[in-house]
Structure 1
Amino acid sequence: MASKCMILLALLVPLLNAQTFNQPGYPGFGLGARFGGGQVVPQQDLQAQEDIRVPSAPRQRNGGQSRNPAPTAPTRAPVIPKTSFMDRFSSKLYAKIAPAQAGSNFVYSPVSVHSILALIYGTSFGKTRRELKSAGEFVDDQIDVAMIFEKLIKFRSDLGNVELKMATKLYHNQLKGGAYPGFPEFSQFYFNTADEAVDMTRAKDTSEKINFWVSDSTDGKIRNLAAPSDITEQTEALLVNAIYFKGRWENEFATMDTQPSNFKHSDGRISSVAMMYNDDVYSLADIPELGASALGLNYRDSNISMLILLPKQVNGLRALEAQLADPQFDLNRIAARLQRQNVLVRLPKFRIEFDQDMTQPLKQMDVQEMFGPKSQIKTMLNDRVRVEKILQKAFIDVNEAGTEAAAASYAKFVPLSLPAKSPEFTADHPFVFAIRTPTSVLFIGHVEHPTPLTASPEGAGRGRQRSFSSRQ
């Protein structure tokens, strides 16, 4: 059972003396980025930019019209690559983040970062666009990309046992003028983005307003995302994305079966952790090429599952993670090898709170131009901007049944005749986990320090934490 949520904050600042673009183009913002000042791109570079279609705001599907009537959205089906471009992006980003988190727990949401980049991709041109296309594994048609993310972002599951919701809000500087024509409708339709004008000169009030929305969107799990120091008079906009997930296991663990058990750390230490236990039908596979075993745990009433990759060697996490960047080991291909069978599962409880500046990992993926003075991004305020930084804060809590149902009573019945001995999956050393759908990775991370049996719920299993306000 797991409860997870993630927030991404994007800050945008206009390029110094930026000219207003006369050519049609469509603006967008992504998860947690801030944009800052820079140089003006020469006029000849603007004339040489490739064509950009304005992603006209479609008419509302309920028959009503948008505030600024525009041509309807394309009705053709989006072109989706044969292999999951979302999985490929997730694997590349994980390979850049994981090495720096050796020895600690961490979790982040690839789909949250990806959706922000997709929105920015739709507003970009020139080298900026080409870099985003390559890093994001996007198809060339920006409308196709927007349509794919529309389907994902607008999916909501609230069936009692599983809840999944994504929301994005754009806070723009009220002193910077009105929105670029069609932008509010486009961002709302494809990326579920609401917008609000705020006073960036009142940093404390604005940060409190943002943090209230963040807390409300994540059921109170994430607070204090934005600090007053993140906001200046030059901040053009802040794009905030939240994803929240809570699910009940298809096969729950009985709280009475959770016992203290040894967990072997990569450095040779051994600690006592709260180990859950269940003998039931799960999905299992041996992946000898990775030197690992894979376990799939389904969430009830949904196509969402947790995939756990457990290295066969106690200190094998680093080697396992290094191989995950290889396309042949994308999570879809690993999941396809899982076989349903009775499995005796031992899995430690874990809880992680983690924040990550995504700027450097993205630069390592050759996304350079949008962070620099030659950024080629149009915004909703008719100015070119550069991305100053992209920040994310995430939370995950995995236990027997779920956050609200942890204290519920549970009875398990077994057959009178004993079945054949089940294969075992015992996660008693560091492992990788991912919460995923068949097409996208919602959350991914690794566990090196599960919940100690005596730890308080608030402090157990936390990863490295850094204050955004300390970043310059």
Structure 2
Amino acid sequence: MELRVLFSLIYSSGFLCVLKSQEPKTPDVTDLAFKNIDFAMNLYRKISSYHDKNIFFSPLSVSTSFATLLLASKGSTRSQMAKGLNLDSLDGTGDATLIPQLFEQLQKNISQDGKLHMEQGTALFVDERFNVERVFSDQIKTFFGADVNNVDFSETELSKSTINEYVSRKTGGKVNEMVTSVEPLTQMMLLNTIFFQGDWDSPFDPNSTEMSRFYVDKYNIVQVPMMVKEDRFSTAEDRELRARVLRLSYRGGAALLIVLPDATADYTVIDDEISAERFHRWIKNMRRTKMEVHLPKFKMEQSYNLHEILPHLGISSVFLHSANLTGLSKDAHLRVSQVLHKAVIEVDEKGTTAASVTSVGITAYSLPATFIINRPFFFFLYHEATSSLLFMGRVIDPTKN
């Protein structure tokens, strides 16, 4: 009798476990951060296909901008945007505010202790001919702290100066000329600013910085101010990609991950292989070791017309006259005219100022005890607690702004 009861209880609890395991997991901030890394790499690959120069942008800034529009869009316009942002798998709950809520939570996680100096600002500039729905303006204010501004785009110089003043104010003066020209027929402009300022956990000594060679390619060598520091650093090796990985930590919970291809490796091959899964593997397999690091000082300012790039990622409807943005305005034929992204980064001895499951092939790195970054490399600036990618780029020539 006792045996039968015991069997029954085990069977019942096992049945309950099976049922429970089948319940869909509600997406959280970690899922959003993971998905955003793969979106970042998709966008990076599209940008890199146009040229072989320096690249720098903020994937978090771009995805945040478009997440605001998810609240305004409906039908194929919305589904297309969610898929292009790599967020469609988070969008199956039927709750249109879930993704905006996740962005709100992520922002709170990044800024919660106040030690990390990072500010984001989202703004829509809509032509005054269109009436913006109150529900939409309230929602983007709630989830994104966003501003909706009516401007008269037919007054091109006035609207341009209004927008540039807004951006300059939001980025602490780091980005001063976001908009260079405004078309009189512009209907809506979407902007997201992101400003990051970080101090190294362990700063470099300016007295150790000296001019050194940087090998742009086989035929071009430039002289750059090279910072030098001996300390214990977190590092790993990705043998499959033939690259070394170095992490430099900031105060306040952010870090800069540098990926340096071997001298004999083609960095363009790495372009195709970087993913969220590999990014997490690098971090997981880091080991601290004493070494001497040589890192070039560099400063970059990059601008992108995303309305020209994003259609190649499947986000096109929102830019067409057929766009369904009825959640933003009931006025017909409203579409996004421009999406502008500008990012600025400066890496020096003090720190950085920036605006805008298996472990196959990855091992802890031990020898040699130097990490000399004197050839093209990739970098990823991320928030450590959430593994959220804030900025990313590649440096081909650190002397080019």
TM-score class, shorter-chain normalisation, is: 0.7 to 0.9
Matched pairs, number: 356
1:445 corresponds to which residue? Answer: 393
**SS of match in other structure, 1:345:** strand
Greater RCO (Cα-Cα under 8 Å, separation 6 or more): 1
Q: Structure 1 vs Structure 2: percent identity of aligned residues? A: 28
**SS of match in other structure, 1:190:** helix
1:20 corresponds to which residue? Answer: none
Higher relative helix content:
2
Q: CA deviation at 1:265?
A: 1.3
Q: TM-score if structure 2 supplies the norm length?
A: 0.82
| CA distance in 2 between partners of 1:426 and 1:297 (Å) | 14
1:269 corresponds to which residue? Answer: 220
1:336 corresponds to which residue? Answer: 284
The question of whether the paired residues in 2 share the 8 Å contact of 1:166 and 1:242 is answered with yes
- Select which of 49, 52, 56 maps to 1:107: 56
Q: TM-score if structure 1 supplies the norm length?
A: 0.70
| CA distance in 1 between partners of 2:324 and 2:371 (Å) | 50
Q: CA deviation at 1:433?
A: 0.6
Per-residue CA deviation, residues 7-65 of structure 1 (Å, 9 max, x unaligned), is: xxxxxxxxxxxxxxxxxxxxxxxxxxxxxxxxxxxxxxxxxxxxxxxxxxxxxxxxxxx
Per-residue CA deviation, residues 321-344 of structure 1 (Å, 9 max, x unaligned), is: 1222x5543x22322222222221
The question of whether the paired residues in 1 share the 8 Å contact of 2:133 and 2:328 is answered with yes
- AA aligned to 1:337 is N
**Distance 1:327-1:242 versus aligned 2 partners, 3 A rule:** closer
Per-residue CA deviation, residues 171-228 of structure 1 (Å, 9 max, x unaligned), is: 3323333x3131221011101102233232322112111111111111211112123x
- Select which of 366, 369, 372 maps to 1:426: 372
**Distance 1:81-1:435 versus aligned 2 partners, 3 A rule:** closer
Does 1:321 pair with 2:275? no
| CA distance in 1 between partners of 2:367 and 2:126 (Å) | 60
Q: CA deviation at 1:157?
A: 4.3
1:254 corresponds to which residue? Answer: 205
- Select which of 131, 135, 144 maps to 1:191: 144
2:124 corresponds to which residue? Answer: 170
Equivalences for 1:55-454 in 2 at 5 Å?
Answer: 79-80=28-29, 82=31, 84-102=34-52, 104-138=53-87, 139-140=90-91, 141-154=95-108, 157=111, 162-177=116-131, 179-227=132-180, 229-232=181-184, 234-300=185-251, 302-313=252-263, 316-324=266-274, 326=275, 328-329=277-278, 331-384=279-332, 385-402=334-351, 423-437=369-383, 438-451=386-399
The question of whether the paired residues in 2 share the 8 Å contact of 1:167 and 1:217 is answered with yes
Deviates more, 1:120-129 or 1:344-353: 120-129
- AA aligned to 1:176 is F
Per-residue CA deviation, residues 96-115 of structure 1 (Å, 9 max, x unaligned), is: 1123230x222111111111
Q: CA deviation at 1:377?
A: 2.3
- AA aligned to 1:135 is G
| CA distance in 2 between partners of 1:171 and 1:391 (Å) | 12
Which consecutive unaligned segments of at least 5 residues does structure 2 have? Answer: 1-24, 354-365
**Distance 1:333-1:149 versus aligned 2 partners, 3 A rule:** same
2:359 corresponds to which residue? Answer: none
The question of whether the paired residues in 2 share the 8 Å contact of 1:266 and 1:314 is answered with no
Per-residue CA deviation, residues 112-144 of structure 1 (Å, 9 max, x unaligned), is: 111112122222222222222222121114322
Equivalences for 1:33-52 in 2 at 5 Å?
Answer: none
Per-residue CA deviation, residues 288-339 of structure 1 (Å, 9 max, x unaligned), is: 1111000111101x22110100001256221111222x5543x223222222
**Distance 1:315-1:291 versus aligned 2 partners, 3 A rule:** closer
**Distance 1:208-1:155 versus aligned 2 partners, 3 A rule:** farther
Q: CA deviation at 1:159?
A: 8.0
| CA distance in 2 between partners of 1:281 and 1:122 (Å) | 46
| CA distance in 2 between partners of 1:332 and 1:431 (Å) | 18
The question of whether the paired residues in 2 share the 8 Å contact of 1:87 and 1:439 is answered with no
**SS of match in other structure, 2:226:** strand
Per-residue CA deviation, residues 227-283 of structure 1 (Å, 9 max, x unaligned), is: 3x4242x43332321100010001110000001111111243222111100111221
**Distance 1:226-1:158 versus aligned 2 partners, 3 A rule:** farther
- AA aligned to 1:131 is Q
Q: CA deviation at 1:155?
A: 5.7
| CA distance in 1 between partners of 2:146 and 2:176 (Å) | 20
Q: CA deviation at 1:369?
A: 2.2
The question of whether the paired residues in 2 share the 8 Å contact of 1:176 and 1:381 is answered with yes
The question of whether the paired residues in 1 share the 8 Å contact of 2:186 and 2:337 is answered with no
| CA distance in 1 between partners of 2:352 and 2:120 (Å) | 19
**Distance 1:206-1:137 versus aligned 2 partners, 3 A rule:** same
**Distance 1:192-1:305 versus aligned 2 partners, 3 A rule:** same
**SS of match in other structure, 1:146:** helix
**Distance 1:421-1:353 versus aligned 2 partners, 3 A rule:** same
- AA aligned to 1:163 is H
Q: CA deviation at 1:365?
A: 1.5
**SS of match in other structure, 1:323:** coil
| CA distance in 2 between partners of 1:378 and 1:241 (Å) | 21
2:14 corresponds to which residue? Answer: none
| CA distance in 2 between partners of 1:421 and 1:215 (Å) | 46
The question of whether the paired residues in 1 share the 8 Å contact of 2:250 and 2:351 is answered with no
- AA aligned to 1:95 is R
| CA distance in 1 between partners of 2:109 and 2:151 (Å) | 29
**Distance 1:79-1:90 versus aligned 2 partners, 3 A rule:** same
| CA distance in 1 between partners of 2:205 and 2:350 (Å) | 8
| CA distance in 1 between partners of 2:264 and 2:167 (Å) | 38
**SS of match in other structure, 2:123:** strand
